[in-house]
Structure 1
Amino acid sequence: MLDVDQEAITDGPVGRVLLVLAAPLVAQNVVYVANALIDTFWLGRVGEDAVAAVGLSLPVQSLLGATVVIGAVGTQILVSQRAGNDDATGARRVAGSGALVAFAVTAAVAIPAVVYAEELVALLGVDPALAGTTATYLALVIAVLPIGAVGDTVENCFTAYGDTRAVFHVSLASVLVNLVAAPVLIFGVGPAPELGVAGAALGTVLASVAGLLWILGYAAGIGRDTFRLTREAFAFDPALVREVVTVGAPLGGQRGVSEVVRVFVVGLVAIAGGAAGVAAYTVGARVATLAIVPALGMQQAAQSMVGQNLGANAPRRARRTTTVGTGMVVAGFLALGALQFLFAGGIADLLAPDLTATGRDLAVTYLRILGASYWALGGTYTLLAGFNGASRTRTAFVADLIKYWAIRFPIAVAAVPVATTFGALGVTVTPGLGWGVEAVFWAVAASNVLGFVGLGGYFLYTTRRGMFANAAERASGGAGSGAADD
């Protein structure tokens, strides 16, 4: 039922193929969320400081994790285009170059981060009592970042070929390893010593290694024949390395600019809303993380479909994939947002039953404001899939630069009093207007809506000027597209 052959990707019903491709990817993202909760669940039984140590390292992990996107997603886009053009040899060579890029780029940031983990933790303004355990957790998790990046890159090659079930299998195997390893290493079971926070980090390390070995087994033809890595894939090709970096770097930059703003916004929330405001913002962020999972799956599926159709010289179908996918996500997220608006109080009570009255009121307010913008947030992912699939990845970078730095952050600044210093980095905000923490909530929603509307307008403009036709000509080796009006 969930099998999609290459012919269906370039010739089957667009909506159905998108849903079938996206389903395992949605499940994969749900598994990722579950994996992230495992450490919190077990460390919550160790103590509050243990949970705080993991939570405090997350901003650095998120920022450094942006480098993974460069090789992983850049490779997916280029492999999908080669796959659509029936160029298996070219796809394998891109995969090898992409894996090299992923390892080199992530190692370049991981090594200094491991060496200077304590200094990075100090920049976050961590309580000295937590600094040691936070630095230990951060160093261990970041040390395995290059391994995870290579694994993600090879997984994305299977996604590019439409074999999204393989990716789900790998993610599930990784989570199962962490599910067993985390409690054993945290609490010390049998011969394993009790390692606490370090044990949680080691469980994550083992899960990453298991995931890499599993996907490499698939790529070697063990239990899977969708995509194969052969010896020829690992021949160094500077031109392909440059191509992967050219396509992937803007996406890494996109992730980076959004993560930096998120760190700053949390600081603004802490000043404008205190503990109640931070709790409300956290509830909203956790719900949004879960809610956006379907859009992420649809984006990954649409990127592969767009790339394959461009490689197959079908620009109109690539455009239709983007518009149909966006329409499906917008419709679904309108319904999802309406449910969140109606049941905001129940959601807040379920996730954080011990909130104060002020915190609960703020959480309900944020959930309702956020739910009203879900349709735009989800639709942005699939619109960007169209640009990314056409190798127009700089659009994603510019779109997020505008969305986060030109819209979200300036509005959020209005929440705090004038000339306020916030955050571990000691940033001084002079144009604060004292509008209160609700201004941050509105800043998030406004940036979602305005970002989608602006990106939608640009999508119409670029497609009328032949974006997909030009991309198809490049991806299919220069043949005329036959769709000049695309």
Structure 2
Amino acid sequence: MLDVDREAITDGPVGRVLLALAAPLVAQNVVYVANALVDTFWLGRVGEDAVAAVGLSLPVQSLLGATVVIGAVGTQILVSQRAGDGDEAGARRVAVNGALVALAVTAAVALPVVAYADEVAALLGADPALAGATATYLAIVTAVLPVGAVGDTVENCFTAYGDTRAVFHVTLVGVLVNAVAAPVLIFGVGPAPELGVAGAALGTALAGVAGLLWVLGYAAGIGRDTFRLTRDAFALDAATVREVVAVGLPLGGQRGVSELVRVLVVGLVAVAGGAAGVAAYTVGARVATLAVVPALGMQQAAQSMIGQNLGAAAPERARRTTTVGTGMVVAGFLALGALQLLFAGEIADLLAPDLTATGRDLAVTYLRILGASYWALGGTYTLLAGFNGASRTRTSFVADLVKYWAVRLPIAVAAVPVATTVGAFGVTVTPGLGWGVEAVFWAVAASNVLGFLGLSAYFLYTTRRGMFANAAERAAGGEADATAPEAADDD
């Protein structure tokens, strides 16, 4: 029922095909987020400090994850366009060189973080009780970042070809490994030592390695025949590397500017709310990550569908994919947000039952504020799919630059007392208003809503100026135009 052939992607009913493509990706992302929630679930039974230690490291992990996007998503967009144009050899060449880009870029940033994990934890403002555990978790998880980057890049090639079930299988393998390894290593079961926070990190690392091995097996033709890497594709191609970087770098920049703000915001939370505030923020962040899973799945499906339709010279169908997908996500996320508003307390108790009374109250407050903005958060993902699928990846970068730096961070600063030195990078904040950690929660929700409204207006403007038609012309023109993907849209 969920199989989608190449003809359906360019000719079938838009809504139905998009749902069929997205369903395995949504399931994959549910499993992926469940993999992350495993740590919070088990460490929530160790204590509030354990949850806070992992929470402090999350923004740094996400910031480093921006480098993964350069190779992984840049590769997906270009492979989908090659597939739509029938260029199988070109698609395989992009896949191999995109994986090399992902490996090189992530290794370059991961090695220094592993070597200086203690210093990074100190920059985050971790107090002595949290610093050691934060550094340990961060070092272990970061060490396997290049492994995950290569795996994500190869997975995205299957997504680009419409084989989204393969991606689900790979992620399922990873979460099963972590689901078994995490409690064993955290609490010490049988001969395994009790490692606490370090055990949670090791479980995550083992899951990443297992996922990479599984997807490489698929790419070798073991169990799948939709996308396969052949021996002739394994050659460094400088032009293809430049093309992947040209498309992926703005997306990496987009992720980077948003995640850097998250690092600073965690510092604000630590100052304004202490361990209870950080734990509450961590619970909210984990739940929000799970909540956006359907939107992320729709975004990944839409990017591949839009890219293939542009490669097949069907720009109007690419536009409809974006608008239909956004409408579906906004409607669904209104209902999802309402459920979170109603059951915020139960969600907090399930994830972290050992929070203090203050921590629980703050977690419930944050979950309710987040739920009210879910419709905008989800809709942003599918709107950005339209720009990304058309290779207008710089738009994503600018949109997040405004959303996070012009809206979220200035409001969040109001949380801290006047003239407070914020732990993250030792930044002195003079215009703090002492509004309390709840101001950070409202900053997140406000930036979600204003970001969606602004991006919607810009989408209408660019489509009227022929964004998709110009993108289809560039896709037909081949690699020569790929390094300047947005130049023609303002003609």
Structure 1 and Structure 2 fold alike (TM over 0.5): yes
* Whole-Å separation in 2 of the counterparts to 1:43 and 1:167: 28
| Root-mean-square deviation over aligned CA pairs | 2.5
Q: Note the C-alpha offset of 1:191.
A: 5.7
Change in CA separation of 1:63 and 1:4 when aligned onto 2, cut-off 3 Å: same
What per-residue deviation string (whole Å, max 9, x for no partner) do you get for residues 308-349 of structure 1? 100111000000000000010111112222333344455455
| Pair 1:39-2:39 in alignment | yes
In structure 1, the partner of 2:477 is 477
Distance 1:7 1:323, change over 3 A: same
1:176 is aligned to 176
- The aligned runs of 1:383-462 (5 Å cut-off) are 383-462=383-462
Check 1:444–1:117 CA distance in 2 against 1; reply closer, same or farther (3 A cut).
Answer: closer
Aligned-pair CA distance for 1:398? 0.6
How has the CA–CA distance of structure 1 residues 262 and 215 changed in structure 2, closer, same or farther, with 3 Å as cutoff?
same
Q: 1:481 matched to which residue of 2?
A: none
Is the contact between residue 52 and residue 278 of structure 2 (CA under 8 Å) also seen in structure 1?
no
Q: Distance in 2 between matches of 1:393 and 1:60?
A: 23
Cα distance between partner residues in 1 of 2:193 and 2:125:
30
Is structure 2 residue 284 aligned with structure 1 residue 300?
no
In structure 1, distance between residues paired with 2:364 and 2:93: 51
C-alpha change, 1:109 and 1:322, in structure 2 (3 Å) is: same
User: Separation in 1 of the partners of 2:392 and 2:70?
Assistant: 14
Unaligned runs of 5+ in 1: 479-483
Cα pair 2:52 2:275 within 8 Å, conserved: no
Q: 1:275 to 1:133 in 2, by over 3 A?
A: closer
Give me the whole-angstrom Cα distance separating, in 1, the residues matched to 2:475 and 2:447. 33
Q: State the match for 2:23 in structure 1.
A: 23
Instruction: Give the letter aligned to residue 109 of structure 2.
Output: V
AA of the residue aligned to 1:415? A
User: Partners of 2:350 and 2:199 in 1: how far apart?
Assistant: 29
2:126 is aligned to 126
Give the Cα separation in 2 of the matches to 1:272 and 1:127.
14
Q: What are the equivalent positions in structure 2 for 1:20-419 lying under 5 Å apart? A: 20-43=20-43, 51-128=51-128, 130-186=130-186, 195-274=195-274, 277-348=277-348, 350-351=350-351, 362-419=362-419
Which deviates further from its counterpart, 404-413 or 271-280?
A: 271-280
Unaligned runs of 5+ in 2: 479-488
- What is the deviation of 1:238? 0.7
- For the structure 1 residues 135 and 83, does the alpha-carbon distance in structure 2 shift closer, same or farther, using more than 3 Å as the test? same
Per the alignment, do residues 375 and 82 of structure 1 end up closer, same or farther by CA in structure 2, a change over 3 Å counting?
A: same
Q: Using a 3 Å threshold, how does the CA distance of structure 1 residues 142 and 93 change in structure 2: closer, same or farther?
A: same
Aligned-pair CA distance for 1:81? 0.5
Percent of pairs with identical residues: 89
- Rounded to whole Å, the distance in 1 between the matches of 2:48 and 2:274 is 19
How many residues matched? 480
Distance 1:14 1:358, change over 3 A: same
Does structure 1 retain, via aligned residues, the 8 Å contact 2:52–2:282? no
User: For 1:425, what is the secondary structure of its paired residue?
Assistant: helix
Deviation at 1:180, TM superposition (A): 2.8
Change (3 A) 1:448 1:130: closer
- Which one-letter code corresponds to 1:259 in the other structure? E
Q: Residues 136 and 416 of structure 1: is their aligned pair in 2 closer, same or farther, counting only changes over 3 Å? A: closer
Work out the CA distance in 2 between the residues paired with 1:140 and 1:249. 26
